[in-house]
Structure formats: C-alpha cells, structure tokens
Amino acid sequence: MTYTPPTRELRFILEDVVAMDGLKTTGAYPELSSDLTAAILEEGGKFCAGVLAPLNHSADSYGAKFKDGEVTTAPGFKEAYGQFVEGGWQGLSFDEKDGGMGLPGALGVAFQEMLQSANMAFGLGPMLTMGALEVLTHAGTDEQRKLYLPRLMSGEWSASMNLTEPSAGSDVGALRTMAKPAGDGSWLIEGQKIFITWGEHDCAPNIVHLVLARTPDAPAGTKGLSLFLAPKFLLDENGEPGTRNDARAIGVEHKLGIHASPTCVMEYGGNGGAKGWLIGAEGQGMAMMFIMMNSARLNVGAQGVGIAERAYQQALTYARERTQGRAVGVEDYPAAIIHHPDVRRSLMTMKAKIAAARSICLACAVAADYAVHLDDEDERKKAKAREELLTPLAKTYGSEIGVEVSSLALQVHGGMGYIEETGAAQHFRDARITPIYEGTNGIQAIDLVGRKLNMMGGYPISRLIEEMRLTVDDCAASAKKDLHAIGAHLANAVDTLEVATNWLRDPQREHADVLSAATPYQTIACETVGGYFLAIGAVAARRLIKDGQEVAFAKDRIALARYYAQSILSTIPGKLGDVQLKADLVFKLSNDGLG
C-alpha cells in the first residue's frame, strides 16, 4: 500500500498537454521553469508519499473520535500536520504578497492530487483551508487579512466552510442560520450546520469557520445570504487565540469512507450567539461562496483522480505479483495475472481514464491562472469562461473515474479486494463521496447545460470544439497510423458533442428536456474532452520521438491515447440517442408505477 507520486506524468501533462509554461508570457511567474516544476513535484510528492501515505490505512481504521465537543484525529495526523505546515504547502499557489509560494494554481492542483492520493481524509483539511484562503485573499477586509491570512496561509490555523443545513443541501437558498448585528461591528450567529469537514480537530490551535447565514430582514432565497468569519477562539489583543467562541461541534458522522476526516455537526450560538464578522457586503454570501466554489470543485476533481491513481497503483502491484492460471504466450505457470488480457485491459482502462481526467483538471487550473494574470481584459474573461466551462467537467469526470477506477482496482484483487485489510476497499469507500460533495454531479450537469453552455452566447463551448478540431487536424497530418486513428475517433466524438450542444442550445428546446439530458450530455463532454487532451499528448509525444527524447515514455503516451480513442471515444456517437432522450420518456411512468 505504498504510493509513488506520478511526477513524470504530471509534469508531462502540465508542460506538454495543458501548456502551463505559457503562463510565463503573462509575466506573473518569472521564475517558473521546467526544473522548478520538477522540483516542486518531487518535494511535494516526497512529503505525500513519505509522511501521509503510510498513515492512510491505519487512520481509516481509527477514524476520528468525538467526545465532549472535541475531536481526536488518528495517530500520526497531528505530527503530519505539523510537517505540512513546516513545508509551507498550504500556500503553494497563493501570491507571495499574501504569504504564499507564488506558484501557478495548476501546480497547486497537481500537488492537491498527490495529497489526496496519499491520504484523502487528511488532505481534506488543507483543501478546506484553501477555500477560505481564496475568499479572504479576494474579499477580506484589511483587518481580516492582517489577523487571519498569515496563520491560514502557513496552515498554522485551519478553516472550515459552513453551508449545508439539514433541509438545505443542493438548494442553498433554503438555509436558515441567522446572523444579527451585535452592535460593535460584529455579528451574532445562531444555527446548525451539517457535514462540516474538519469543523473540529486537534491538529491546529485555532479553526476559522466561514459561515453562510441569513441577516435580519434579508430577502428570501440566496439573495438574503451573507458570509461570516467566526473563529473557534476569538483573538485577543495580540491576535492570539483567546476566549472560546460560542461555536462548537456537537457530533461527527459515521460515514461510508474518509473515516479519519472529522465530518462535524456544528452548532453556532446557544449561549448568546457565535461572534462573527461579515466578509464582503451583506447579501453577497453567494458571491463569496462562488469565489471558492470553482477551486473547491476543481480540487474535488483532482481528489477523484488522486484516489483513482492510488487504487490503480495498488491494483497494478497486485496484478504483477498475484499468479493464477495460464496466460496466452506466457511460459510461467501460474502466470502473473497482469498477463491475462482481461486484467490487462482493465488496467489500461484505469490508466487511460486517470490520464484523461487528470488533464481536464490541470487544463481547468491553467485556465484559472490565465483568468487572473492575462493583461487583456477580454482575454481574461475568455480564460475565465474556459475555467468555468471546464470546472463541472473536472469535478464530474475526476469523481466519476475515482469511483469507477477504485471499483475496477478492487475487482482486480478478486476476493482479496473485498477484505478491508487489503486496502482496496478503502479507496472504493473514500472515492464514493466525491460525486456528492461540492455540488452533486447532477448539479454540475445542470450548471453545465443551464449556465456554462450559454455563457457569452455559447462562445466557450464553440471555442473548445474549434480547438479540438485543430488537434484532429494535427493527428490527421501525422504520418503515423496510431495518430490517424486517434484523430478519426476524436473527430467523430467532437461532431457528436457539437450536435448534442446545438440540440441543447436550441431556443425551442423545452427546459425539462435540457434538464433531463444534462447528465448524459455531461458524460459525453467529459469523455470527449478527456480524449482530446490525450490526443494532444500523443501529438506532443510524437515530437519527443522525432527528437529522440524519452522515446519509451513518449510511445506509451501514444499507446494510451490510442487505447482510449478506440475504447471510449469510439462509443460517443452511439450515445447521442441517450442524450436526446426527452423528458416525456423520463416522466412517462406513473408515480405509482415507479414503486
């Protein structure tokens, strides 16, 4: 159950597929170089593999213990968290002026993936702190920044995000937690929040809760929401944790997976109200949430990829070691099961899907970097739109393949996979939350077809389709048969995506039909765009081969893209009927008939 950071593939995708080095043209990352990228990935990977990965399985068995409002995390977590802070990893992709390392967000996402691979239950803590950092760096007052940013940026303090309530999950507008002015510029918060990741723990001396709440006389729905900062310990005059705030965990959930991540029920108020401070203006709660939402969704995608990678590595190791039966063309009896075509194919599917989803995540991250750093406003907007278009795809495909790959990896183990001791089952359990949180994949699909396809008059999706066709042309122009095949399958998939997109964007289309098509459309979008990035990788690999560089590695990139093209891209044209299935068929069964 060791973990080997996939640093070479990460670097290849960052540099040769999603062109992170192009960011240098913005002037924002003057020191960015291939050597720096490699060094960060190596160092980050070393920490993840050496410190966090060995704790993953034991922490799952231990869980997170709750008693009298306090949470004890798994043995080793506190020390590992200390090392995480020491390494400065929390601030990796934040501006140096805010105390960060000043590296691209894309590199930050690559690190996130390794962090989640190594130990998802642990990784969730820093992931949530990152969300709070996004909000505070963008919208915190000077005082808030002064008081909280340095400690959060270093990771010394952690943060939690408080949205969900028992009757308000996907429909955030329905939430009821109230904040009333305390008269001194602060607010008093009363309400209960559920599913609060790392809402309470023993790894940091203070926890900064960001809480979505309703203000008095605020309008109903999302417009009445505001975001508040309520620390576990109020700060004394020196900015150090002082008086205990009226905010506490009242329980932790017993979950299917991520056992070592304390998922808390939080109670704000009860003894006068939890003291909090407004972030942004009153009524801007949703805008504040959206600042962190894109990055949180992207990070969940990377998390799915991370679990998939870890599960895949374990299956690969097992397939190389476990011997069983005879294999075609293999002398040894019994043969290692990696030689059986069915097992081998399963491994190829896992590896190809991981690479595809990983590419989407990193491409989304690069777009987000451009959206901040490009000079031209129009170009910035376009980059932002690309980021927003890719966000649901990154979140969905990463999380879907997280579940699928961890299931395939478990299956490679046969009966042993079902035994908890083996560790394969933990990945399967852990991965299963990713299609749910930070907006279920159904919500992502609705966001995709309802909002993202129609941004800027449809420009972002049209532009992406155009770019994909350029790669089709690149493949077609190659002298290599493999690239031709990749290009041909990609062309058909892109054509299908275009037809489906136009069908959805048809102004005559009923809204119910659009909603009914959302998930299947999102599936073909994820698969097509994933295949597109693999095709770019194949084209780049061809260049490496011509230059005589890393030929074996480059050939493998082509083989992977070729496999994905025939196994997955080739099925996309056949999925059009499923996308264009109208809502009347979905609602035709009577309500009684469903039961």
Report the catalytic residues: 438
Q: At its nearest, how many Å lie between its own copies and the CB of residue 97?
A: 37
Rounded Cα–Cα distance for residues 255 and 403 (Å): 16
Q: Is 252 in the site for its own copies (CB under 8 A)?
A: no
Q: How far is the CB of 73 from its own copies (least distance, A)?
A: 19
590 binding its own copies? (CB under 8 A): yes
Measured from the CB atom, the residue of 345 and 546 that comes closer to its own copies is 345
The answer to whether the CB of 196 falls within 8 A of the CB of 212 is no
Residue 564: CB minimum distance to its own copies, A: 10
Token pair for residue 287?
A: 């805008």
Q: Which run of H or E residues covers position 265? A: strand 263-268
d(CA 560, CA 556): 6
Among 1, 250, 316, 456, binds its own copies (CB under 8 A): 316
User: What is 437-473 written as a DSSP string?
Assistant: SSS-HHHHHHHHHHTGGGGGGGHHHHHHHHHHHHHHH
Q: Which is nearer to its own copies, 374 or 572 (CB)?
A: 572
Which window, 147-155, 320-328, 364-372, 464-472, contacts its own copies (CB under 8 A)?
Answer: 320-328
According to DSSP, residue 64 is labeled -
Q: Which of residues 283-302 bind its own copies (CB under 8 A)?
A: none
Among 344, 381, 469, 505, interactor with its own copies by CB under 8 A = 344
State in angstroms the smallest separation of the CB of 338 from its own copies: 8
94: which 2 tokens? 């934040």
Radius of gyration of the chain (CA): 24
**Cβ neighbours around 102 below 10 Å, total:** 18
Q: Which is nearer to its own copies, 186 or 261 (CB)?
A: 261
Q: 504, exposed or middle or buried, with CB in 10 Å at 0-12, 13-18, 19+? A: buried
Tokens 């309470």 label which residue?
Answer: 200
Of 144, 407, 478, 502, the one binding its own copies (CB under 8 A) is: 407
CB of 371 to its own copies, least distance (A): 28
CB of 456 to its own copies, least distance (A): 25
**Is 263 or 471 the residue whose CB approaches its own copies more closely?**
263
Q: Which backbone phi and psi does 555 adopt, to 5 degrees?
A: -60, -35
Distances in Å between the Cα of 10 and the Cα atoms of 237, 307, 515 are 45, 15, 35
Least Å distance, CB 141 to its own copies, is 32
- Minimum CB separation of residue 586 from its own copies in Å reads 5
Pick the binder of its own copies from 403, 491, 529, 540 (CB under 8 A): 403
Of the candidate residues 420, 466, 506, 547, the single one contacting its own copies (CB under 8 A): 420
Residues 6+ apart with CB under 8 A from 256: 429, 432, 433
Select from 2, 83, 243, 324 the one that contacts its own copies (CB under 8 A): 324
On whether the CB atoms of residues 226 and 179 are closer than 8 A, the answer is: yes
Measured from the CB atom, the residue of 342 and 378 that comes closer to its own copies is 342
507 is a contact residue toward its own copies (CB under 8 A): no
Among 158, 160, 441, 528, binds its own copies (CB under 8 A): 441
Nearest one of 489, 486, 314 to 417, comparing CA atoms = 314
Q: Left, alpha or beta for 86 (phi > 0: left; psi -120 to 50: alpha)? A: alpha
The least distance separating its own copies from the CB of residue 382, rounded to whole angstroms, comes to: 29
Contact pattern for its own copies over residues 166 through 195, marking x by CB under 8 A: -x-xxx--x-------------------xx
Q: Distances in Å between the alpha carbon of 260 and those of 85, 153, 252, 310?
A: 19, 23, 11, 17
Per the CB < 8 A criterion, the answer to whether 468 and 485 are in contact is: no
Determine if the peptide bond prior to 75 is cis (ω within 30°).
Answer: no
Residues paired with 188 in a beta bridge: 180, 275
Among the listed residues 4, 26, 192, 462, the single contact to its own copies using CB under 8 A: 4
Q: Of 30, 142, 328, 548, which one interacts with its own copies (CB under 8 A)?
A: 328
Q: Does 212 bind its own copies (CB under 8 A)?
A: no
481 touches its own copies by CB under 8 A: no
Which residue among 435, 460, 487, 537 contacts its own copies (CB under 8 A)? 435
Residue tagged 């001791």 (tokens): 421
Is residue 173 helix, strand or coil? helix
> Is residue 395 part of the contact set for its own copies (CB under 8 A)?
no
Among 445, 483, 490, 504, binds its own copies (CB under 8 A): 445
Interface with its own copies (CB under 8 A), residue from 192, 411, 454, 462: 411
Under the binding rule (CB under 8 A), the answer on residue 397 touching its own copies is: no
For residues 445 and 587, give the distance between their C-alpha atoms in angstroms, rounded to a whole number. 19
According to CB under 8 A, which residues from 73 to 132 bind its own copies?
none
C-alpha separations of 127 from 50, 275, 296, 387, 529 in Å: 19, 24, 8, 19, 26
Site for its own copies in 514-553 (CB under 8 A): 515-516, 518-520, 552-553
Instruction: Name the residue nearer to its own copies (CB basis): 47 or 428.
Output: 428
| Residue 125, token pair as written in the block | 């803590």
Within positions 550 to 579, which residues make up the interface with its own copies, using CB under 8 A? 552-553, 555-556, 559-560, 562-563, 566-568, 570-575, 577-578
Residues across the chain: 595
